[in-house]
Amino acid sequence: MKDLREKIREISKRYPDMRSAIMPALYLAQEKYGYLTREAMEEVAEILGIPPVAVYEVATFYTMYNKEPVGKYHIQVCTNVSCMLLGAETLVDHLRKRLGIDVGETTKDGLFTLSTVECLGSCGTAPVMQINDTYYEDLTKEKVDEIIKTLKEEAS
Amino acid sequence: MATVTIDGKTITVEDGTLILDAARSLGIEIPTFCYQAKLSRLASCRLCLVEIEGQKKLQPSCATPVLDGMVIHTQSPAVVTARRAMLEFLLANHPLDCPVCDKGGECELQDKVFAFGPREGRFTEWKRTFHSKDYVLSPVIIKNANRCVQCQRCVRICEEIVGASALGSIGRGVKTEETSFMRAWLNCDHCGNCIEVCPVGSLMSLPYRYKARPWDLKEVDTVCPYCGTGCTLTVGLRDGQLLRVRSRRQTGVNEETLCVKGRFGLDFVVHEDRIKRPMIRKNDVLVPVSWREVSNYLKERLLPLKGKGDSVGGLLSAQMTNEEIYTFQKLFREVFGSNNIDSSSRWPVASEGDFYPALLDLISTGIYRGNLREFLSADTLLVAGSNLTDENPVTEYAVRYTLSVLPLHLFILSSRPSRLDKAAKGVKRYIPGREVRILASVLKEVMKAHEEDLKRTFGDVGEVIQGEVIEDDFVRALSSRLLGSRRISILVGTDLLRSPLAVDAFRVISNLIKVLRAAGKECGLQFLFDRSNQMGAIDMGAFPRDGGMGFGSLLEASRDGRISFLYVLGEDPVLNYPDGRLVREALSQVGLLLVQDAFMTETARMAHVVLPGATFAEKDGTFTSNEGRVQRVRAFYNPPFEARRDLEIISHIASLLGVDLETDPSSIFAEIKDLISPYRGVDYEGLGDNGLFTGHEKGVDKGLHPVAIRDVALEGWGFITGNHLYHSGYLSQRSRLLGSLIDAPFLEIGKEGADSLGVREGDSVKVRRNGQSIELKVRVKEGLPEGLLFIPENFGSLSINNLMEKGVYPFPVEVRKNG
Ligand code: SF4
Ligand code: SF4
Ligand code: SF4
Ligand code: FES
Ligand code: FES
């Protein structure tokens, strides 16, 4: 497996300005470390040759970057208008009960973190949630239960 | 051109002019927040909205250029309402803690709300709070994020002008916070420019915190005593005590910026090292005496020396005012009949007899006396022999700014890497002494391309350059760029003055300027002196001439017992002259060593007589900056204890010898104006906020000087020295604040060098020469050429000049890892 430095170097070649490479580089760092630690952000800055604060700006602007550790499965439920109208809030409540955690928390076994996010750009299939890199669409409570069950099995 | 109507008044302006600027030139004031001249446009605060007829939405005047025929309103009901609404938004989350805020009384938010409303807020929800206690970001900055209006001026100035990129906009939306990486302690330049531009009390000066209210301050405008960039400063005093320094908008070369030395380094003035009373050496101990006693003593000792010419000499600091330097010289030339005068922060390695004539020739050939910003508006800029970032920070800001707005091509020829390298089209590192070959190679290329022009101007020039030239990317890129440029500016740094082959380097540059001019181009140079009045000292003639001895020769003569009186004014050669041991040996042989200084220096400790002089804070007069700009130094303190102003002391000494010398700076300046041609057009009384520029002497063009290329050999390690951002010698050494930023000297070494020695950042190394050795901590600096080390100069604690030797540079040393 290529190391982070190599991967970031390679990706950065696509951009004329190293600052444009911050986002993909942060994804790679997040993939490697699970979330963006101080050291991870400093490393990205060093590799791209830009000031650490510039990396920090981007990392704190977007919700896709985790500044805290997250569970194995990071559930991000969209609560923006379209999803809200089609019951996103009920789904969030359901998930809270089902997982026994509040929004922003992680289950004790470290499997699930629950977050709410703004529009995931898939309003046509609302309500929507994203778990790690996968979208789950046209959700109902039953579907959610099914998904959680599958993931639990996958994990054990 | 575009003609627009603003509030019923019509004006014609250049295309692309901002509505804001057009309005300002009509005297119409539009309030702004995020707008700051010289920074990139953000247009986020919407305070500057105006109404343009035919456009439905209001437009930000700070980012909207005029179009021909536009009719604009800045006071219409829609504008007034919108403005009030924008302010109401800003206030919604503002803590309104003006009574305890340092900014209260000079806060742009206060002023704007007062002028444009609203009188009442309607926001009743919870206010956003980032923290309950202000947090410290650096030894000079304390932050209150709750008061921030997100204008990002701090972020932009730090990145675009200072180049430190230490601040950012963290987070998003209403939770945006302008702060450092993870709110951590800043490892930045500590220049405080972010504090200066912050419109509210969000970034505040830590040393000034809770010290005064703006209306309690008495402000005095003066000039920075540190480097030759010559920034104007406004000092704020309360109850006669210096509390803060700020810069003023659109004033001076610095235009609202300063570096850390100017803004925070003036506390040296009250250092406990101040000499309180005159002293005479009795039984080998310096004993405080009265002015009367010291006067009697000096009179007796000096009278026999009157008119004694060769056996007396004077050395003075290039941080003295023009009037002091001029008067000091007059004392020597007219009263003692001696031409043995010198002033320098850069002791030439080359022989004095060749150095000064070559330097003066370079000045009269090439110097551009005029506004730095105009000087930089060229096609190509060559910085030769300077780490601009460390030596003349505000000049560096001006270069960085120019690069962002004009298609200026920057080339850097310097031994030390600097932050500006990244912005350059070409960078070349060299070992001092080898710059001659590089510059000569460029000269040769340019001459080749302009043979015809040269013949026309100079006739048959013959072989101007003897020796082998080099062809590398830098030489090729710079030469072809010079050939393609119409206007070329050269900044000559102090490293070139110290080069062992300085004379050749000056000649090559002088030739280059002449050749480029013969080719029909505009070309000039400015120096990057690191002493506030080095330019003035040269203009005043404070160097050996008419057969006089320079300081190097004076030392040799002293060692041989030929000097009966040496007068040292504000200099500390024991600490900073290369070869500290020679200085000690020589000074101990001087018949009468008189040291006049504000501080108890190492040299003063060797003196027979010590006189307590003044700092820049206690005197009136003028400095001439690197731009050739004459500016007023204004006293804001009285000399403490029994210290006196240096002018008074110099003329007091003359009076002991029965000669009357003027002590009033303006009368002395009138004399200078009469006698020294560049000063002819400069009036002491006319030196307003921006000073006045000296004029050009009519240079006599003596054609091209042949130069034989030689090189300097460096085997093993050699170290060079120079200024650090926080430390430039004698004055900075006595600033508590600067001292807290850099407490000990260090050794910079390149990456490869560090590897070969097996040392890493922070390790301790031993540097040895001639049985002397010092221990230093390592800093790894990428980009230093092989074999070259850097140690910041003039650290009292270390006397690195004991490792130096007269006549060589870089100084060869042995280095090894400690332990
Ligand atoms: S003090 Fe200077 S370098 Fe540091 S953050 Fe402020 S502007 Fe930037
Ligand atoms: S700290 Fe000051 S300068 Fe920086 S964004 Fe906030 S208000 Fe503007
Ligand atoms: S750049 Fe030079 S003159 Fe300006 S503030 Fe800094 S030390 Fe003073
Ligand atoms: S609102 Fe949920 S995907 Fe757009
Ligand atoms: S000053 Fe124009 S938008 Fe802020």
Span B692-712, pLDDT tens digits? 999 987 666 678 989 999 988
User: Domains of chain B: which residue ranges?
Assistant: 2-92, 123-270, 279-344+549-693, 352-528, 712-817
Q: Computed from CA positions of residues A33, A35, A37, A39, in that sequence, does the dihedral angle turn out positive or negative?
A: positive
* Same structural domain, A56 and A123: no
Residue B472 has pLDDT above 80, yes or no: yes
* Same structural domain, A79 and A10: no
* Same structural domain, A47 and A96: no
* Same structural domain, A144 and A78: yes
Tell me the pLDDT band of B576, cut-offs 50, 70 and 90: confident
ipTM for the predicted complex comes to 0.88
Residue B797 has pLDDT above 80, yes or no: no
Confidence (pLDDT) at B68 = 96
Which residue in chain A is spatially nearest to B173 when comparing CA positions? A61
Confidence (pLDDT) at B730 = 80
Segment B506-517 mean pLDDT: 96
User: Chain A within 8 Å of B640 (Cβ-Cβ)?
Assistant: no
Segment B576-601 mean pLDDT: 94
Confidence (pLDDT) at B250 = 84
Give the distance from residue B164's alpha carbon to the nearest chain A alpha carbon, in angstroms. Answer: 8
- Residue A68 placed within a domain: no
The total number of structural domains in chain A stands at 2
Q: B18-42 b/e with 16+ CB inside 10 Å = b?
A: bbbbbbeebebebbbbbbbebbeeb
* pLDDT tens, residue by residue, B747-787: 999 999 999 999 999 999 999 988 888 999 999 998 899 89
Please, where are the H alpha helices in B734-814? 736-741, 751-757
Cβ atoms of B149 and B199 within 8 Å: the answer is yes
Tell me the pLDDT band of B345, cut-offs 50, 70 and 90: low
Which residues in chain B are contacts of A117 at CB distance < 8 A? none
Residue B378 has pLDDT above 70, yes or no: yes
Segment B267-278 mean pLDDT: 95
CATH architecture for residues B279-344+549-693: 3-Layer(aba) Sandwich (3.40)
End-to-end CA distance of chain B: 72
* CA neighbours closer than 13 Å in the CB half-sphere of residue B550: 21
DSSP run (H or E) holding B486 = none
Confidence (pLDDT) at A1 = 52
Q: Do B170 and A38 touch (CB under 8 A)?
A: no
* Same structural domain, A51 and A90: no
Q: Name the average pLDDT for chain A.
A: 94
* pLDDT tens, residue by residue, B204-261: 999 999 999 999 999 999 999 999 999 999 999 999 999 999 998 888 999 989 999 9
Q: Name the average pLDDT for chain B.
A: 93
CATH architecture for residues B352-528: 3-Layer(aba) Sandwich (3.40)
* Same structural domain, A45 and A90: no
B415 lines ligand 5 (CB under 6 A): no
User: Chain B within 8 Å of A54 (Cβ-Cβ)?
Assistant: yes
Of ligand 3's atoms, which has the minimum distance to the CA of residue B253?
Answer: 4
* Same structural domain, A97 and A140: yes
Residue B819 has pLDDT above 80, yes or no: no
Per CATH, B123-270 and B279-344+549-693 having the same topology is answered: no
* pLDDT tens, residue by residue, B440-457: 999 999 999 999 999 999
Return the CATH class of domain B123-270.
mainly beta
Residue B503 has pLDDT above 60, yes or no: yes
* Same structural domain, A53 and A116: no
Residue B717 backbone phi and psi in degrees, to 5 = -95, 145
For tokens 């003295």, the residue is: B320
- If you ran DSSP here, which 8-state letter would residue B733 be given? G
* Same structural domain, A145 and A81: yes
* pLDDT tens, residue by residue, B733-751: 899 999 889 877 899 999 9
Tell me the pLDDT band of B347, cut-offs 50, 70 and 90: confident
Q: What distance in angstroms lies between residue B419's CA and the mean position of ligand 1's atoms? A: 14
* pLDDT tens, residue by residue, A51-95: 999 999 999 999 889 988 999 999 999 999 999 999 999 999 999
* Same structural domain, A99 and A44: no
Query: Which parts of B475-535 are beta strand (E)?
Result: 487-493, 522-528
Return the CATH class of domain B712-817.
mainly beta
Largest CA distance in chain A: 49
* Same structural domain, A77 and A51: no
B52 lines ligand 1 (CB under 6 A): no
Confidence (pLDDT) at B818 = 86
Q: Please give the residue range of the domain that contains residue A106.
A: 73-155
Segment B587-591 mean pLDDT: 96
Residues 6+ apart with CB under 8 A from B431: B415, B712, B714, B718, B785, B787, B788, B810
pLDDT above 70 coverage of chain B, percent? 99
Q: Do B170 and A54 touch (CB under 8 A)?
A: no
Confidence (pLDDT) at A34 = 87
Cβ atoms of B220 and B251 within 8 Å: the answer is no
Here the CATH number for the domain that contains residue A104 is 3.40.30.10
* pLDDT tens, residue by residue, A121-137: 999 999 999 998 899 99
Segment B337-361 mean pLDDT: 85
Residues 6+ apart with CB under 8 A from B200: B101, B103, B107, B108, B109, B147, B148, B149
Distances (CA, A) of B91 to B177, B733, B756: 16, 44, 59
Q: Which residue has the higher pLDDT, B729 or A58?
A: A58
Q: Do B168 and A38 touch (CB under 8 A)?
A: no
Residue B344 has pLDDT above 80, yes or no: no
Segment B190-217 mean pLDDT: 96
Give the distance from residue B228's alpha carbon to the nearest chain A alpha carbon, in angstroms. Answer: 30
* Same structural domain, A86 and A121: yes
- Of the residues A53, A63, A67, A68, the best mutation for testing chain B's interface (the one with the most B CB atoms within 10 Å of its CB) is A53
Residue B799 has pLDDT above 90, yes or no: no
For the whole model, what pTM was predicted?
A: 0.93
Domain B2-92 fold: Ubiquitin-like (UB roll) (3.10.20)
Confidence (pLDDT) at B700 = 62
Residue B299 has pLDDT above 60, yes or no: yes
Residues 6+ apart with CB under 8 A from B148: B177, B178, B200, B202
Residues 6+ apart with CB under 8 A from B448: none
Segment B526-545 mean pLDDT: 94
